[in-house]
């Protein structure tokens, strides 16, 4: 006997409830719920053709005006790495989000780029709910201003929203001693609590990568998973669970329209639902005038200082995401050279994920402070650590361990030459490593400049913490300031790719 496909069965159950039938006590009530998801909207320097805060504000305003039950979920990564965040640590982003007023905001890893104290300050300034069920203080206590979940009643339908922050935040950012519990366990516990409180549907609002998304999706602990972090538009529905994610910077926005039927059978409440999907290209959305005006004022506030020219590029520079995460690049060399020159270190190692401009600069381009800060927006400081050659090799192996995934840990170096073979397993990819003209001495000690994020173990560089600190983050200079000074003094010609990293 052939079984009915699960999706068809659910659709038929909705129709039975809507139209009535032998098992339905009364015609079911139909409720429409609209879920808008956005994430990774972390800069005001977007929105020329599509995307940006002003277009998102206009879209949200339109949906709220036209529909009864609209819930806006921001799935994290907001307060950094906006160019202006290097000055106000994300305060202007909170101001703009307060104007949009999301119903649920989930902390992403970039909420912790400036440490937990800044995160909590930004939370206190938010007029929207910040939600994360797996984020705790060092002692396991709840964080002030952060809710575990929300239970909203929408025309009689009770929808529970569980916020979840990826545990990878501890590697990607600086949550310091905050505890981030496993997402599956936290979702199971909080969803059960919400079900007991009467939730008809569970929505997991998460900041997590694609692999983690699919684990949550397949767990069936939530009816809908709304995610951020991957910067990719995705909509998945397998007849049981929905997974949706919008493009970063609100360039395209995924909207899930739920048709929910609430009825009664044998004295018990019944719930059936079906999703519909809309993908909004915000190139077709006129910017909200009030938000656009505020953004213009914020940009004008910094222009006179940031637009001053530092120098003219002697060679092309390419900071596109996959360029700085897959091989030697002139801009990676430039940053590493500036760090080594500023500190007098033997070697410099910095991560490609810290270079964020995602643009190309032809030879002859005038470089401004704004350009450098756009490339290095995190406010990282340069630290100097004494490491053995063996520890330096371990650091480079870590940096090359996930090249295929486009990981931000990819290393850019100064004072070293490295040969590697990606056909070899992670941890065994370096086939040669040289300091100057000689092999790196694994037993010798070298002074290594790196950024404070990597020193704290960011991007898996745990080996730095095993070294002896020569210049701490408290005493170090801003990386961006060092690069500005280097460009002004020496230009860019010496940063041309020259075989520092030979990868096959």
pLDDT tens-digit readout, 159-211: 999 999 999 998 888 899 999 999 999 999 999 999 999 999 999 999 999 99
Which secondary structure element, helix H or strand E, spans residue 414, and what is its range?
strand 411-414
- Report CA-CA distances (Å) from 107 to 70, 139, 185, 402, 423: 21, 19, 18, 25, 37
The reply to whether 285 and 327 lie within a common domain is no
Residue 282 placed within a domain: yes
Residue 8 placed within a domain: no
pLDDT at 14 over 50: no
For residue range 364-386, list pLDDT tens digits in order: 999 999 899 999 999 899 999 99
The reply to whether 268 and 382 lie within a common domain is no
The reply to whether 149 and 72 lie within a common domain is yes
DSSP state string for 379-403: --BEEEEEEEHHHHHHHHHHHTTTG
Lowest mean pLDDT among 127-131, 277-281, 283-287, 301-305: 301-305
User: In whole angstroms, what is the distance from residue 188 CA to residue 458 CA?
Assistant: 29
- Three-state SS letters, 197-231: CCCCEEEEEEECCHHHHHHHHHHCCCCEEEEECCC
pLDDT at 239 over 70: yes
State the total domains in the chain: 2
The reply to whether 166 and 200 lie within a common domain is yes
The reply to whether 198 and 339 lie within a common domain is no
For residue range 438-482, list pLDDT tens digits in order: 999 999 999 999 999 999 999 999 999 999 999 888 778 889 989
Q: Are 153 and 92 in contact (CB under 8 A)?
A: no
Question: Considering 257, 272, 295, which residue would you say is the last residue of a domain?
Answer: 295
CATH assignment of the domain containing 191: 3.60.21.10
CATH assignment of the domain containing 336: 3.90.780.10
User: Would you state the pLDDT for residue 24?
Assistant: 38
More confident residue, 213 or 299: 213
Decide the pairing of beta strands 268-281 and 252-265: antiparallel
User: Would you state the pLDDT for residue 10?
Assistant: 44
Q: Are 454 and 349 in contact (CB under 8 A)?
A: yes
Residue 15 placed within a domain: no
The reply to whether 289 and 317 lie within a common domain is no
Burial class (CB in 10 A: 0-12, 13-18, 19+), 68: exposed
User: Would you state the pLDDT for residue 142?
Assistant: 97
User: In whole angstroms, what is the distance from residue 12 CA to residue 10 CA?
Assistant: 5
Residue 171 placed within a domain: yes
From 252, 254, 247, 258, select the one nearest 284 (Cα to Cα): 252
For residue range 340-367, list pLDDT tens digits in order: 999 999 999 999 999 999 999 999 999 9
Question: Considering 269, 295, 321, which residue would you say is the last residue of a domain?
Answer: 295
User: In whole angstroms, what is the distance from residue 105 CA to residue 66 CA?
Assistant: 22
pLDDT at 274 over 80: yes
The reply to whether 149 and 196 lie within a common domain is yes
User: Would you state the pLDDT for residue 504?
Assistant: 92
pLDDT at 491 over 60: yes
Residue 1 placed within a domain: no
The three-state secondary structure class of 307 is coil
Length of the chain: 504
Decide the pairing of beta strands 104-105 and 70-74: parallel
Taking the mean position of all CA atoms in its chain, how far away is CA 398? Answer: 21
Q: Are 6 and 245 in contact (CB under 8 A)?
A: no
The reply to whether 493 and 403 lie within a common domain is yes
The reply to whether 480 and 357 lie within a common domain is yes
For residue range 413-449, list pLDDT tens digits in order: 999 999 999 999 999 999 999 999 999 999 999 999 9
Helix axes 91-100, 53-66, angle to 10 degrees: 20
In terms of residue numbers, what domain contains 464? 309-503
How sure is the predictor about 16, in pLDDT bands with cuts at 50, 70 and 90?
very low
The reply to whether 397 and 266 lie within a common domain is no
Torsion of CA 45, 112, 128, 59, to 10 degrees: 30
Residue 7 placed within a domain: no
User: Would you state the pLDDT for residue 306?
Assistant: 84
User: Would you state the pLDDT for residue 294?
Assistant: 95
Residue 11 placed within a domain: no
Contacts of 314 (CB under 8 A, 6+ apart): 363, 491, 492, 493
The reply to whether 332 and 185 lie within a common domain is no
More confident residue, 219 or 86: 219
Which secondary structure element, helix H or strand E, spans residue 312, and what is its range?
strand 309-312
Which secondary structure element, helix H or strand E, spans residue 170, and what is its range?
helix 169-172
pLDDT at 320 over 60: yes
The three-state secondary structure class of 422 is coil
User: Would you state the pLDDT for residue 11?
Assistant: 40
The three-state secondary structure class of 256 is strand
Residue 4 placed within a domain: no
For residue range 24-58, list pLDDT tens digits in order: 335 578 999 999 999 999 988 776 799 999 999 99
The reply to whether 316 and 283 lie within a common domain is no
């Amino acid at each position: 006997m052939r079984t009915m496909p699960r999706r068809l069965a659910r659709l038929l159950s909705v129709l039975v409830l809507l139209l009535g039938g032998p098992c339905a006590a009364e015609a079911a009530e139909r409720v429409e719920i609209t879920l808008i998801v956005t994430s990774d909207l972390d800069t005001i320097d977007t929105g020329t053709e599509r995307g940006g805060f002003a277009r998102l504000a206009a879209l949200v305003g339109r949906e709220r005006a036209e529909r009864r039950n609209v819930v806006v979920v921001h799935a994290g990564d907001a307060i950094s790495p906006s160019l202006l965040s290097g000055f106000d640590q994300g305060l202007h982003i909170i101001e703009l989000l307060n104007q949009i007023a999301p119903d649920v905001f989930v902390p992403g890893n970039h909420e912790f780029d400036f440490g937990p104290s800044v995160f909590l300050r930004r939370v206190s300034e938010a007029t929207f709910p910040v939600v994360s069920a797996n984020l705790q203080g060092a002692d396991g206590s709840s964080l002030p201003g952060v809710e575990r979940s929300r239970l909203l009643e929408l025309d009689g339908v009770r929808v529970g929203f569980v916020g979840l922050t990826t545990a990878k935040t501890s590697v990607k950012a600086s949550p310091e001693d905050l505890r981030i519990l496993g997402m599956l366990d936290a979702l199971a516990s909080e969803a059960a609590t919400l079900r007991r409180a009467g939730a008809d549907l569970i929505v997991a609002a998460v900041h997590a990568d694609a692999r983690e998304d699919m684990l949550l999706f397949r767990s069936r602990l939530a009816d809908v998973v709304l995610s951020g972090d991957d910067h990719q538009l995705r909509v998945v529905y397998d007849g049981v669970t929905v997974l949706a994610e919008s493009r970063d910077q609100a360039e395209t926005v995924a909207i899930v329209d739920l048709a929910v039927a609430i009825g009664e059978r044998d004295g018990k409440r019944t719930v059936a639902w079906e999703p519909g999907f809309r993908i909004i290209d915000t190139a077709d959305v006129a910017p909200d005038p009030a938000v656009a005006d505020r953004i213009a004022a914020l940009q004008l506030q910094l222009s006179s200082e940031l637009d001053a020219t530092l120098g003219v590029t002697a060679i092309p520079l390419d900071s596109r995401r996959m360029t700085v995460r897959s091989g030697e690049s002139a801009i990676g060399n430039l940053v590493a050279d500036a760090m080594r020159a500023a500190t007098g270190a033997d070697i410099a190692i910095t991560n490609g994920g810290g270079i964020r401009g995602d643009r190309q600069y032809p030879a002859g381009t005038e470089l401004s402070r704004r350009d450098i800060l756009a490339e290095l927006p995190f406010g990282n400081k340069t630290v100097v650590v004494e490491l053995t050659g063996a520890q330096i090799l371990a650091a480079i192996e870590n940096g090359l361990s996930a090249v295929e995934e486009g990981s931000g840990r990819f290393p850019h170096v100064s004072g070293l030459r490295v040969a590697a073979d990606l056909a070899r397993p992670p941890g065994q990819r370096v086939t040669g490593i040289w300091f100057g003209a000689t092999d790196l001495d694994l037993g010798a000690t070298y002074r290594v400049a790196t950024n404070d994020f990597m020193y704290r173990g960011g991007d898996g560089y745990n080996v730095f913490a095993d070294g002896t600190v020569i210049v701490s983050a408290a005493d170090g200079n801003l990386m961006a300031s060092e690069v500005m000074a280097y460009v002004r003094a020496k230009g860019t010609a010496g940063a041309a790719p020259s075989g520092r990293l030979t990868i096959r």
